[in-house]
Amino acid sequence: MKLFLKIWRQSNADSDGNFQNYEIEDITPDMSFLEMMDVLNEKLIIEELDPIAFDHDCREGICGSCSMFINGRAHGPDTGITTCQLHMRKFKDGDSIVIEPFRANSFPVIKDLVVDRTSFDRIQHSGGYISINTSGNTQDANTIPVRKEDADNAFDAATCIGCGACVATCKNASAMLFVSAKVSQFSYLPQGKVEAKERVLNMVKQMDEEGFGNCTNTGACEVECPKGISITNIARMNNEYLKAKL
């Protein structure tokens, strides 16, 4: 395939960026999107040009770092996948592809397609953990009864990989799907109920301090989430928040 790429280039966080056009050939339908980007970067390096910076790590849809906005959609024209799981068979010979970083004030651009998502880390550090007594009398987690439904719901929420697609997709750049998933994965389990009030209050407070917008129930975040995190978690987080406040 021959493709025409329009890619956002920005040398650093303080500089003005712009789109630049590239042509690339000999792309096979079985290549992943990131492999196509690798081929383009090899071409740029041979031409002694600056390669395009983009985040990646596991390339297995687990780490959430390969965050790109492709043709107006987070992670590209498919559902339930990350960018590294997107294959070039989703495109046709001669297609034009627009590639840009996630757009949100709380995700400042570092370079090209790389954004700073450490705001998510700070939200998790504020309350996304469970304190355990390790002095020797801690009850084994496997001996604590948990309803099957609660265990399944907690696991579903815990599959969130923090990629930021929900923020990039939301018209308000809201992080409530991400935060609610982190709150829910603990609130369903008995181990997470001890610090439940402090957790939800601290995480919501940190989310607001990071400058994320609020939720207006559009539902786009759930549609574009590569792990299918349900917006019912947002309702659960709001319920937990109100109980903690009252």
Q: What is the CATH number of the domain that holds 35?
A: 3.10.20.30
Q: Do residues 67 and 186 both lie within one domain?
A: no
Nearest to 113, CA basis, from 43, 34, 172, 167? 34
| 209-237: average pLDDT | 96
Model confidence at 184, in pLDDT bands (50, 70, 90)?
Answer: very high
Q: Do residues 124 and 46 both lie within one domain?
A: no
Quick one: residue 164, left, alpha or beta (phi over 0 = left, psi -120 to 50 = alpha)? left
Model confidence at 191, in pLDDT bands (50, 70, 90)?
Answer: confident
Nearest to 40, CA basis, from 89, 49, 68, 157? 49
Q: Do residues 94 and 70 both lie within one domain?
A: yes
pLDDT of residue 142: 76
| 26-48: average pLDDT | 97
| 85-111: average pLDDT | 97
Total of domains in the chain:
2
Task: Report how far Cα 60 is from the mean position of its chain's Cα atoms.
Answer: 14
Provide the β-strand partners of residue 7: 20, 99
pLDDT of residue 131: 83
Q: Do residues 106 and 149 both lie within one domain?
A: no
Euclidean distance between the first and final Cα of the chain, in Å?
A: 60
Q: In what order do the strands lie in the sheet with 18-24?
A: 18-24, 3-9, 96-100, 69-70, 73-74
Q: Do residues 20 and 125 both lie within one domain?
A: no
pLDDT of residue 132: 77
Nearest to 69, CA basis, from 2, 27, 115? 115
- Taking 80 as the threshold, does the pLDDT of residue 108 lie above it? yes
Q: Do residues 10 and 71 both lie within one domain?
A: yes
Last residue of a domain, one of 59, 86, 111: 111
- Taking 80 as the threshold, does the pLDDT of residue 170 lie above it? yes
| 181-210: average pLDDT | 95
Q: Of all residues in the chain, what percent carry a pLDDT higher than 90?
A: 90
Q: What is the CATH number of the domain that holds 135?
A: 1.10.1060.10
- Taking 90 as the threshold, does the pLDDT of residue 129 lie above it? no
- Taking 80 as the threshold, does the pLDDT of residue 46 lie above it? yes
pLDDT of residue 213: 95
| 71-91: average pLDDT | 96
Task: Report how far Cα 90 is from the mean position of its chain's Cα atoms.
Answer: 21
- Taking 90 as the threshold, does the pLDDT of residue 86 lie above it? yes
| 12-16: average pLDDT | 91
Model confidence at 16, in pLDDT bands (50, 70, 90)?
Answer: very high
Q: Considering the entire predicted model, what is its pTM?
A: 0.92
Residue 166 lies in domain: 118-245
pLDDT of residue 133: 74
| 65-75: average pLDDT | 96
pLDDT of residue 87: 97
Q: How far is residue 77's CA from residue 86's CA, in Å, rounded to a whole number?
A: 8
**Burial call 26-42: b when 16+ CB within 10 Å, e when fewer:** ebeeebbbbbbbbbbbe
Q: How far is residue 7's CA from residue 48's CA, in Å, rounded to a whole number?
A: 18
pLDDT of residue 62: 94
